[in-house]
Amino acid sequence: MALPKLTTPTYELVLPSNGNKIKYRPFLVREHKVLLTMAEADNSEVGRIIRELVDVCTFNKLNMLQLPHFDIEYIFMNLRAKSIGETVEVTVTCDCGEKIPASFSIDSLQVEKKPEHTNKIMINDSMGVEMRYPVIDDVVAVFASNETDNVIELITNCISGIFDTDNYWETADQTKEEISEFVLSLTKNQFDKIEQFFVTAPKIVQIIECDCPACGKHNTSRLEGLHNFFV
């Protein structure tokens, strides 16, 4: 006689990038076992593990290779809430050096959207670039190192088009070397304008407030991105 099949609950959430509703389910034991391997994984594996876990728990309905990283972060945190628990334990370091245990509820996470944010950036009076949001692998690579080369590669990967008053060049039709050369030819001011796309892009944020038991200072800490949230 065959064993009964368990029914897994499903939930809905709204993607920060486009407002679309998606369905998801919690991690199963087999997926939680994979999650535990993240502590030992290198940076390239971390991106793959997160992407594959989100993919299977959203029923393979999303284009994971194009989904903006903040969508994946938001889905992943909600998966964690339904699978492991809604409370995340964190440690806040006071200016005096004291390590303060704190916590927050995933339900209180906010999607921060800057009103001035745009994906079309004019780098001079007649030429601009159109940007795409980085995917999870892009972000993992950058946060693994603060090297300038990684930041330049991130910008190179995220330019989807270059335009002037008469023409539009899709980067998909260009070589990576040609796009990289374009980025390296920018002035510092032009480069900074493109960087603002990433600075003002939507982010999953949480504000943690706690008092230091050693010196009494009231600490306010801002967490953003999976590199801070994942515990």
> For 164-222, how does the pLDDT look when each residue is reduced to its tens digit (9 = 90+)?
999 999 999 999 999 999 999 999 999 999 999 999 999 989 999 999 999 999 999 89
Mean pLDDT rounded to a whole number for the chain: 89
pLDDT at 28 over 50: yes
Look at residue 23 in the predicted model and tell me its pLDDT.
97
Helix (H) or strand (E) holding 23: strand 21-24
pLDDT band at 14 (very low <50, low <70, confident <90, very high): very high
pLDDT in tens, 41-50: 776 688 888 8
Look at residue 224 in the predicted model and tell me its pLDDT.
83
**Buried-state track 26-39, b at ≥16 Cβ within 10 A, e below 16:** bbeeebeeebeeee
Nearest to 55 by CA among 36, 37, 34, 39: 34
pLDDT at 54 over 60: yes
Cα–Cα distance, 45 to 41 (Å, whole number):
6
Cα–Cα distance, 212 to 222 (Å, whole number):
16
pLDDT band at 149 (very low <50, low <70, confident <90, very high): confident
Look at residue 101 in the predicted model and tell me its pLDDT.
94
Cα–Cα distance, 159 to 120 (Å, whole number):
10
pLDDT at 160 over 60: yes
* For the chain, percent of residues with pLDDT exceeding 70: 93
Look at residue 138 in the predicted model and tell me its pLDDT.
81
Look at residue 231 in the predicted model and tell me its pLDDT.
42
pTM of the entire predicted model: 0.83
Going from N- to C-terminal start, the domains of the chain cover 9-109+203-231, 120-199
